[in-house]
Structure 1
Amino acid sequence: MGSMIHLSVGRLEIDWGKNSGFTDHSPLFQPSDLTQVPYYYVDPDYPKKEGGNEYQYNIITELQDGLSKPLREVVERIKLLGYTLENAMREFEYLSETNSFDVDKFNFDQLLEALLTVDVAQMSLDYGDGEDFGKFFRRHLFARLGLDRIVDDPQYVKFNAGEGMENLSTYSILLLLAENPTARCLPVNWQFADVEAGGWGARDEFVRTLDPKHRFLIVTEGSTDAGILKHALKLLKPHLADFFDFVDMAEGYPFTGTGNLFNFTKGLISISVQNNVIILYDNDAEGVSSFNRSARLRLPANMRVLKLPDLPEFASNPTRGPSGDHEADINGRAAAIECYLDTRAAPIVRWNNFNKELGVYQGELIQKQDVMHAFYNLKTVDGDYDFSKIMRVLELLIHECAAMKEGEIASELEALMRR
């Protein structure tokens, strides 16, 4: 029979391979995800269930090494690989053409509706040959969900469209399943032990760090911004932290200041850098000025220029200047990254330099070193620390990175559809 390898959500097999013929799903996991996971085998002594149908077997379970991560975390990694519901829809349309099934009889929304209601956690263990998505589509979506009430021509969909569903990509299926509340908390398991034991793959082919082609280089105005972002990812998004690289700060940060960062951006464009790059400016007067200049450059598809987001909390903020203390909007004027940390009260900003281009004063957070030290001392997210503002920075960063990769996958699908 050979050595089998499976990627599953609970008992539902999303993808499988045999011997050396398998897909590399290591980008879905991190080395820390190595653990004991269940492997399902047909009982060699009593293989068939007494009184069962042709598909029903007696299953035994063994625990062996594998990779496991909750679907809710895996799906966030999938999006950073460029797979989104929009691209899943494009793929569905492509499969409808190549497999000649009519989307007027069965469409993407109907597939999503069906998957939203199936209880994946209650999948039967009876099927000794596993449940790939094509079999799952035929055996379960019709029998358990009443797809005959959703579609107009159930027999057509069951067989014709079912062939297309066998070719729906692994990551599209995972994205669709993640919309289902009963599936989001289930583990995604990569059961590679049999292939490893059979000599078809070494441990470091399965348990390894993320390839550089999947990562994003984040370049900020200074080492403070990079350090805060790295620590925030470690605390709030540890399952995504390996997607992000920062400029090496060991020998001193080489791009300090907005002017240097702007010139660096132009340099990356001129050499047609191949990395996926995010340039991130502060949301203060100098940062906005350089952000505006950078945004006018002809950026390649693998580069994005961002600034820290405007927040409503900063619209009326305590400030201090020559004329005393006043409430003012610090968005675009004084919201450096330290302001997005928990300052315990509204961050007090002191006005200093005047920016002629924007016609506003630049400001700086008072006691920013104390705010930073309190943040770096955090080891967990437990407690009453307010992460809401820095989380919005991470959400912006993750969203833009995912959008960059989404464009790559969309272009690949469009090229397939033109063939």
Structure 2
Amino acid sequence: MGEIVGLCIGSYEFLSRKNTFGDLLSIFSQDDLTIEEVFDKELDESITRRYFTTTVNNAKMCLDVMGHTTLKAKSLFEYHKKNYLDYLEDDFDDEVDSDNIEREYTFENWARAVKKYSSILASDIYENGDYISLEKCRGENNSLCEKIVLDSLPHCKDDTYFGIDFYYLDEEIGSPWDVFRIILEAFKSEDIITLDYTNLFEGGWCDEVPEEKEYLVSKTVILTEGSTDARVISEAMKLLYPHMVKFYSFIDFSTYVVQGSTNYLTHYLKAFIAAGIRNRIIALYDNDSAGLSEIKVLKNIPIPSNVRIMHLPDLEMCLHYPTIGPGGSSIDNINGRACSIEMFLGKDILKKSGEYEPVRWKSYIDKVDAYQGEIVSKSEVLKQFKLKVKRSQDQLVLDEWEECDLLLREIFAAFEK
């Protein structure tokens, strides 16, 4: 008969696969795995339990970077609605005025119904083949969307998942993961999602410790101006968001002796676009005069939907930052003129004797009518960052990573805009 494995929140299995993990491990990492001995009261003996856990918040982040966003769910719903209005009119003709179906069958109402019944199922009691609280809902005066969602539950009948019929839908239109992203909105960020695969393993359908390939997902390629940018972002991600590391890749500047600069980043980006690379690509420029100048040039070429061009975000501390120029020292806004990756290493590194390491103004960039600046003690602050990473591996102080956290969140949200 085989074994079912699925994602559980509370007492309900919201998304499942038979005889395989399928793509369920895409929201987990190897660090989420637990194998432990537990006492089973029903069997009156100890058993080995094998399971993964993650939080709702972490799962949301994973799904968002995979493209399973709330916006994608809305797009899926609208497509489904367009193709199923006639069916709905026939099915609910005796209960709902057909003239009001289009008005009542909206994404907002559907999402509200999905969240309502997801919350009920997570805390429901399964008894004699039914979920007690869910069954009681069937006798209520439900809205159109509530009836549609409820009719597909509890076991997602006939390829219909929380009211969305996937039988006729192409994968490019959407997937159950998009619906699952809406389901997650019913829960608190810290709520736990569990994937217990004990029976799957004992049935001989998988290894006790899944191989690395089981977790693989399509990676977003982050193109940077150089190896320093890639290293800082990579190290920060490992420390702050380890569950997100598997979703991103960088150019290996050192192993393959790849040159880096603002101009080279533009060349690499154009080459990737011309080659028709299907992976998502983020071209990340410094927030300085040279970077903004290149971004201005790129506005003249067609950019495919899988590509995002962005620069390092503005920083509050950079609004009033010490600089050195031909006229001497001054306090300037260096956002858009000299805000490079070094500005994201942390105030604890950039400050020396209570003062920020200054930026020195250099060349003038005609395209943006501004001077280009660079931090004076670049090699020293990078050396201090390396030591900071080692310290943080033992004891992470989140306040020291405020700027990196801001940058990472911008990267994670790149395709939500």
What range is the shorter-chain TM-score in?
Answer: 0.7 to 0.9
Structure 1 residue corresponding to 2:201, chosen from 196, 205, 213: 196
Post-superposition shift, 1:88?
1.7
The 1:147–1:234 alpha-carbon spacing in structure 2 relative to 1, beyond 3 Å, is: farther
Match of 2:15 in 1: 15
Post-superposition shift, 1:252?
5.9
Contact 1:222 1:253 in 2 (8 A): no
* Structure-1 separation of matches of 2:193 and 2:368: 50
| Counterpart AA for 2:403 | K
The 1:37–1:296 alpha-carbon spacing in structure 2 relative to 1, beyond 3 Å, is: farther
Post-superposition shift, 1:140?
4.0
Contact 1:14 1:173 in 2 (8 A): no
* Structure-1 separation of matches of 2:145 and 2:9: 29
Match of 1:288 in 2: 292
Post-superposition shift, 1:63?
5.5
Post-superposition shift, 1:125?
4.7
* Structure-2 separation of matches of 1:299 and 1:89: 24
**Equivalent residue runs for 1:289-304 within 5 Å:** 289-304=293-308
The 1:322–1:128 alpha-carbon spacing in structure 2 relative to 1, beyond 3 Å, is: farther
* Structure-1 separation of matches of 2:322 and 2:111: 48
Match of 2:171 in 1: none
Question: Is structure 2 residue 376 aligned with structure 1 residue 362?
Answer: no
Deviations 1:255-301 (A, max 9, x none): 31112222222222222223322211111111221222233222222
Deviations 1:176-197 (A, max 9, x none): 2332354x32221222232232
Structure 1 residue corresponding to 2:282, chosen from 274, 278, 282: 278
Structure 2 residue corresponding to 1:249, chosen from 250, 253, 256: 253
Contact 2:338 2:374 in 1 (8 A): yes
Match of 2:107 in 1: 108
Give percent identity, aligned residues only: 24
**Equivalent residue runs for 1:124-143 within 5 Å:** 124-127=124-127, 140=133, 143=136
Question: Is structure 2 residue 155 aligned with structure 1 residue 159?
Answer: no
Structure 2 residue corresponding to 1:387, chosen from 401, 407, 413: 401
Contact 1:31 1:209 in 2 (8 A): no
Match of 1:331 in 2: 335
* Structure-2 separation of matches of 1:384 and 1:154: 43
* Structure-2 separation of matches of 1:362 and 1:155: 61
**Equivalent residue runs for 1:257-272 within 5 Å:** 257-272=261-276
Match of 1:73 in 2: 58
Paired residue secondary structure (1:273): coil
Post-superposition shift, 1:312?
3.9
Post-superposition shift, 1:27?
0.9
Aligned residue-pair number: 378
Greater RCO (Cα-Cα under 8 Å, separation 6 or more): 1
| Counterpart AA for 2:64 | K
| Counterpart AA for 1:240 | M
* Structure-2 separation of matches of 1:119 and 1:360: 54
Contact 1:27 1:210 in 2 (8 A): yes
The unaligned stretches of length 5 or more in structure 2 are 89-100, 165-174
Paired residue secondary structure (1:65): strand
Q: CA RMSD in A?
A: 3.7
Deviations 1:136-166 (A, max 9, x none): 7xx646747x994673797677438986544
Post-superposition shift, 1:310?
2.5
Match of 1:351 in 2: 361
Post-superposition shift, 1:309?
1.8
Structure 2 residue corresponding to 1:233, chosen from 228, 233, 237: 237
The unaligned stretches of length 5 or more in structure 1 are 46-59, 130-134, 404-419
Structure 1 residue corresponding to 2:383, chosen from 373, 379, 382: 373
* Structure-1 separation of matches of 2:36 and 2:113: 28
User: TM-score, normalised on structure 2?
Assistant: 0.77
Post-superposition shift, 1:244?
0.9
Contact 1:339 1:347 in 2 (8 A): no
The 1:67–1:268 alpha-carbon spacing in structure 2 relative to 1, beyond 3 Å, is: same
The 1:19–1:127 alpha-carbon spacing in structure 2 relative to 1, beyond 3 Å, is: farther
The 1:276–1:383 alpha-carbon spacing in structure 2 relative to 1, beyond 3 Å, is: closer
| Counterpart AA for 1:301 | S
* Structure-2 separation of matches of 1:143 and 1:384: 46
* Structure-1 separation of matches of 2:408 and 2:147: 47
* Structure-2 separation of matches of 1:61 and 1:114: 40
**Equivalent residue runs for 1:163-202 within 5 Å:** 164-166=160-162, 168=164, 170-182=176-188, 184-202=189-207
* Structure-1 separation of matches of 2:288 and 2:345: 15
* Structure-2 separation of matches of 1:16 and 1:293: 47
* Structure-1 separation of matches of 2:10 and 2:35: 14
Contact 1:2 1:18 in 2 (8 A): yes
| Counterpart AA for 2:24 | H
The 1:383–1:392 alpha-carbon spacing in structure 2 relative to 1, beyond 3 Å, is: closer
User: TM-score, normalised on structure 1?
Assistant: 0.76
